[in-house]
A = this chain, B = another copy of it.
Amino acid sequence: MRFAETDAQGIAHHASFVVWLEVARVAYLAAFAGGYRAIRERGIEALTTAVRIEYLRAAYFDDVLSVGVRCGEIRGARFGYVYAIEREGQTLATAATSHATVDRETMTPTRVPAWFREDVVRAEATPPLLP
* Residues of chain A having any CB pair with chain B under 8 Å: 2-4, 6-11, 13-15, 18-19, 22-23, 26, 35-37, 45, 47-55, 58, 61-62
Contact = CB atoms under 8 A, between A and B. Distances in A.
Contacts of A9: 45, 47
Contact of A18 (B7, B8, B18, B26): B18
A91 to B, nearest CB: 14
Contacts of A55: 47-51
Contact of A8 (B8, B35, B48, B51): B8
Given A50-B55, A52-B51, A7 B3 contact: yes
Interface of chain A: mostly helix, strand, loop or mixed: mixed
A49 B45 CA distance: 30
Contacts of A58: 47
A53 B50 contact: yes
Given A4-B19, A14-B48, A51-B53, 6 more contacts: A3-B22, A4-B15, A14-B18, A15-B19, A15-B22, A50-B55
